[in-house]
Amino acid sequence: MKAEVINPFLIAAREILEMESGLTGTRGELSLAASKWTTQEITVIINIIGAVKGTFLIGMSIKTAMKLVGLMLDEKTETFDKIVISGIAEMGNIIAGRALAKLESIGYLADITPPMLLYGERASISTLNRKRILIPLKTDIGLIELSMAIEK
């Protein structure tokens, strides 16, 4: 995976987090992972098709998801409910859409599928033979983990 394909997702995530919640995500250590991945407590899954293809995942704890949606709505979120689920899925959708707009500006046309949300502990996702880049974003409300298995 080339940086020109991965960086738009990191940049978009930081921009959307700041715009929607006021959070600044500090990038942690990048790592390369095998295809099998045990999810965080909540994971947004978005597939990408076109000139670049693969899977983009955003994982976090339920506590972080509730705080994030609370910041996005400017109200305290007390329970993990449909509003939190919808808010996290939409945030993932917006990040992926913004990343694809950045990729299009450098000549890569692609599209995204509607977001899927997986929640619960110890679920595994396989990206088959595609390796994934893991990018942790440290925020004041918890860790948000970006994971990309994307190829040109």
Cβ(103)–Cβ(52) under 8 Å? yes
Residue bearing the bigger pLDDT, 118 or 152: 118
Res. 100: pLDDT tops 80: yes
pLDDT of residue 104: 94
The whole domain housing 128 covers: 3-151
Question: For the domain that residue 130 is a member of, what is the CATH number?
Answer: 3.40.1550.10
Neighbouring C-alpha atoms within 13 Å toward the C-beta of 146: 29
Range in 4-8, 29-33, 119-123, 143-147 the model is least confident about: 119-123
Count up the domains in the chain and report the number: 1
Angle CA(88)–CA(90)–CA(83) in degrees, nearest 5? Answer: 55
> 115 phi and psi, to 5 degrees?
-70, 145
State mean pLDDT over 30-56. 86
pLDDT of residue 35: 61
Percentage of the chain beyond pLDDT 90 is 70
